[in-house]
Structure 1
Amino acid sequence: MHKTLALFATVSLSAVLAGMAHAEDIKIKLSTLVDKTAPARVTNIEAAAAIMNEQFKAAGVDKHIVVETNVSAAKGWDDLALEDMKAFSVGQGPDIYVLPHEWIGKFAEDGNALPMDAKIAANPWAYADILPVLWTAAKAKDGKIYGIPQDAEIRMFFYNKDMLRKIGKDEAFIDSLPAKVEAGEFTLDDLSALSKQVVDAKVAQYGMLHRPNVGIDYLMVFQSYGVKFMDDKTGKLMFPKAEMAKALGWYERNAREGVTPADNTAMSWDAIQGAFKQEKAFIFHQGVWAVAWQLGDKMGANWPTDKDAYFHKIGWIPAPAAERGGKPANLSHPLLYTVNAKSKNADLAADLVALATLPYFNTEHDVNSYHTAISNGQTAMPKYKENWVLSAASPMMAHAQFVPNHTQFGSYNKVLFSGLQAVETGKMTAKQAVDFIADELSLQFGSDVEIRDAVSN
């Protein structure tokens, strides 16, 4: 580690000494979203600056990095990205900014994101151990990497094992369920049938609940059915009708057969989470951070807080395959540290990001915010290993997929959700919803979205 820091100091000093002959503060502007549960997005960069300041001092260099942070109160990451775009348009963009990965292509295209491939190759001490799958989320359509994974998370189906015991399932069946999902032996239709058994036996009021509003959790199911949302060659969004019809058909059957309530999308978050915690629902699917409210006495019920007791009660699986023999699907939505390519301190900003990416700093962020590791090294760190929730979630990254790196996918997803909602409420059949979504996408995006009969067309 001492050799690494000595080498890092040499690289960093060479980056700042050129053209700087007098003492001055070096101001690095950081932009991120306000998030009380994840202060380390800021404090990790500040800690990296403190290390570099100590290096300057030890080397007798009269320089001092000052991190100035804009913690935005924007409604969400998309709104923050738009705020940053406005700042860049008037030459006031931050030196480092946290970006949802699907926006990386736009910022790269505009010349506001620094290509990181050369820096990644030159700094293996920081980047060689990053989970390879995460680099996929940081690439623009030119194939270059423009951001560094700041965190990751994983989505899953949570299910109540006690309810399976109540309908007569033995421990062998319960214990084997995750392995059967992994092997493609237990499908989405099998999951629906199992949920229906729980509801028909009056063990639960609801078989399966999902988020009530637009998001990405439900996209796991679409990916299990083979849906692709973007053409890798053209970079255009795509809407494959055949695969979409199958996925929407699954939601349609669940609503029609009483597995998912027809008014799921009209329910409040508290009602949905409370139903799962109070054991009125067999399955709830969202992300690993949901464990925070599942533990202890939150949401109107008291559940175990230790690993063995929790997993005796609750199980996790990715979205099962759509067909027997297929592969399960999972989703992650990484955030990226992105460096302003036009910053006069771009190299220094990139050095700060490299330090903040080290396992120690990222683990401090993860264990406090319920995010999964971005590197293999993190999973071996005592503090990470002691967090049994994250340790259990990390292997699920093996099936991680991502939403497209396309700035219009948010609008696309709103249309898709409106179709899903119409199907569940019975206003449309799956086939009608596919036609409706295709028409709406064509109206909104024109030739920017490819309407296809199937993915392969």
Structure 2
Amino acid sequence: MSFLKSIKITVLAATLALPTSFAAAEAFAEDVTIKLWARADRSGPMRAGNIVGAAETMNKMLAAAGSEIKVSVEVHENNAKGFDADALDVMKAFAADKGPDIYVAAHEWIGAFVEAGYAMNMEQHIESNPDLYSDMIPVLWESVSYKGQRYGIPQDSEIRMFFYNKEMLRKIGKSNDFIEGLPAAVEEGQFTLYDLADLAAEVVEKGAAKHGFVHRPNVGPDFQMLMASFGIELSDSATGKLKMDEAKLANFFTWLKYAVDKGALPKNMTSWSWDSVHQAFRGRESFMKFHGIWNVPKQLKIMELTEETYFKELGWLHSPAEKQGGRPANLSHPIIYVVSDKSEHKDLAAMLVALASQHVPNTKHAVSSGHTPIKFGQASMPEFVEDGWALRAGARLLPYATFMPNHAKIGPYNAIVYKGIQGVETGRLSPEDGAAFVVEELEAELGDEVIIVGGN
């Protein structure tokens, strides 16, 4: 049986036979309206558009089967400034019994939606439709899981990692084998975060760069891949609560102090502007920078690079392990589709999400918006081959991806950790005092929503 035929049979079975709610709709109405909530986001306009397109595909299948049912999608585009504000607005809509059938959300909100009863458990749907989901990059399922169950479908992915300047390494006499072998050395656990700090300091000491490495100058999730390198688990899978290991956090802060003391990391990094951070790397003043793959277009333009010259000058690394033999990490932040558990047509809504998540529509979104794929097969599709060379390269990093905890309080958690980072980098706090400060603040602000382990 062909893959396309298999999909048609699956969709028709779902729409015509399985969901009792939909069967009732068929008896009394020929039109079924699915309400979709999506944030108005110029960086991802096809998040809503692909669901609309999926309805058009489904209607063709229904017509081919002789059904008079027609599915339409009613789109509500929210103008919230960010995904956190948008999620709170979705919550308010549900509280007023005006919630959508499908909504788009940042993955870290899935736990809050599950606890409120607004997210459908997708396990049975996923297991019943292997043709639609078997090619999903496995690690991405972690982003939609809560207490061991999947409650959403990854809509896109990204990679946040270290960028490094190969030309600077050539200037200080490093061999080509060393330069091109760094990614493999990191993956094999042979090149550690301490090695990275030493190398960055060497590049500065020998005059090839003004700064060793730079990072974001404000609160954000990027630091979590470094924390993962130190074995810090940010959440408890059994309870869904946030988590912090004080001893391991002190180890992370000890490394930060080491990097500052070695001259690899500017002491005043947390007082920089974003423009200064970007300029440091794009202006070839900094040897390294850790941030996201969406930086590539600006790097190409400002650094006057091309597809052919990009990887000759720049390379990408996971966040190396703390110690030799450890596992490196990077960070991904998928946006996801969630089906409401309150929906009268949740099985039909889930099938629309499945169709919108197939290779062709998702690839159009990914390449046009600068996101890595959600499925292995997308990397060989014409759009990725022709226009998505950087995204294909990023997809190879996904097996080492980590994700923010699926907890609504991850924002305040990140803000408290950042205060500790700031204190240690500026020298106001020792690593041990910085870790103790973070733990005290987490306990005070998050209460029983955070589990503390590993104290000194």
The answer to whether TM tops 0.5 is: yes
- Alignment-derived partner of residue 208 in structure 2: 203
Structure 1 residue 35 corresponds to structure 2 residue 36 = no
The answer to whether the 8 A contact 1:23-1:62 is kept is no
Does residue 96 of structure 1 match 2:102? Answer: yes
3-state SS of paired residue (2:42): coil
- TM-score normalised according to structure 2 size: 0.94
Pick one of 47, 50, 53 that aligns with 2:53.
Answer: 47
Match of 2:124 in 1: 118
1:41-78 Cα distance to aligned partner (Å, 9 max, x none): 01111110111222333344333322222222222212
Partner of 2:173 in structure 1? 168
Question: Any idea what SS the aligned residue of 2:420 has?
Answer: helix
Structure 2 residue identity aligned to 1:352: L
Instruction: Establish whether residue 363 from structure 1 lines up as the match of residue 363 from structure 2.
Output: yes
The aligned residue for residue 77 of structure 1 is 83
How far apart in 2 are the matches of 1:250 and 1:74? Answer: 38
Equivalent of 2:153 in 136, 141, 148: 148
Query: What's the counterpart of residue 337 of structure 2?
Result: 337
SS at match of 2:290: strand
- In structure 2, do the counterparts of structure 1 residues 231 and 17 end up closer, same or farther at CA, with 3 Å as the change threshold? closer
AA at the equivalent of 1:436: F
Counterparts of 2:60 and 2:23, CA distance in 1: 15
SS at match of 2:213: strand
Percent of pairs identical after alignment? 44
Show the counterpart of 1:187: 192
Task: Provide the rounded CA distance (Å) in 1 between the counterparts of 2:393 and 2:84.
Answer: 30
Are residues 35 and 305 of structure 1, via their aligned partners in 2, closer, same or farther at CA, if it must alter by over 3 Å?
A: farther
Change (3 A) 1:42 1:19: closer
Q: Decide whether the 8 Å contact of 1:303 with 1:310 is kept in 2.
A: no
Letter in 2 for 1:379: A
Letter in 1 for 2:391: L
Is structure 2 residue 247 aligned with structure 1 residue 242?
Answer: yes
Question: Is 1:260–2:262 an aligned residue pair?
Answer: no
1:393 CA drift (Å): 1.0
Q: Which residue identity is paired with 1:206? A: H
Contiguous gaps of at least 5 residues in structure 1:
none
TM-score of the superposed pair, with normalisation by structure 1: 0.94
Between stretches 69-78 and 11-20, larger displacement belongs to 11-20
Contact 1:156 1:318 in 2 (8 A): yes
**Which residue of the other structure, out of 3, 6, 20, is the alignment partner of 1:4?**
6
Distance 1:2 1:453 in 2: 52
* 1:13 pairs with 2:19: no
SS of residue matched to 1:159: strand
Instruction: Choose 328-337 or 250-259, whichever is displaced more.
Output: 250-259
- 1:418-457 matched pairs, under 5 angstroms: 418-453=419-454
Q: Report how far residue 4 of structure 1 moved.
A: 2.5
The 5-angstrom pairing of residues 380-395 of structure 1 reads: 380-386=380-386, 387-395=388-396
Map of 1:280-359 to 2, 5 A cutoff? 280-296=285-301, 301-306=302-307, 308-359=308-359
Give the SS at the match of 1:274: helix
Compute the RMSD of aligned alpha carbons: 1.7
**How many Å apart are 1:235 and its aligned residue?**
2.9
SS at match of 1:18: helix
CA contact (8 A) 1:22 1:62 kept: no
Tell me which moved more, 65-74 or 416-425.
65-74
The letter of the residue matching 1:314 is: L
Write the letter of the residue equivalent to 1:418: K
| 8 Å Cα contact 1:207/1:258 also seen in 2 | yes
Give the AA of the match of 2:263. G
Aligned residue identity for 2:360:
Y
More divergent stretch after superposition (127-136 vs 66-75): 66-75
Asked whether the 8 Å contact 1:373–1:394 carries over to 2, the reply is yes
Structure-2 separation of matches of 1:274 and 1:152 = 26
How far is 1:278 from its partner? 1.0
Question: What amino acid is aligned across from residue 330 of structure 1 in structure 2?
Answer: N
Structure 1 stretch 261-270 or stretch 428-437: which is displaced more?
261-270
Distance 2:129 2:390 in 1: 30
- C-alpha distance after superposition, 1:283-339 (max 9, x if no partner): 01111111121112xxxx332121x31100000010011111211112111221000
Query: Is the 2:186–2:321 Cα contact (8 Å) retained in structure 1?
Result: yes
8 A Cα contact 2:111 2:240, kept in partner: no
Q: Residue type matched to 1:446 in 2?
A: G
Deviations 1:427-449 (A, max 9, x none): 21211111111111111122332
Q: Distance in 1 between matches of 2:370 and 2:111?
A: 27
CA gap of 1:83–1:179, structure 2 versus 1, over 3 A, is same
How far apart, CA to CA, are the structure 1 residues paired with 2:383 and 2:403?
27
**Whole-angstrom CA distance in 1 between matches of 2:32 and 2:353:** 15
Match of 2:279 among 263, 268, 274: 274
Q: Unaligned 5+ residue runs, structure 2? A: none
Number of residue pairs the alignment of both structures matches: 449
What CA distance in whole angstroms lies between the structure 2 residues aligned with 1:69 and 1:433? Answer: 46
Aligned counterparts of 1:34 and 1:202: Cα–Cα separation in 2: 46
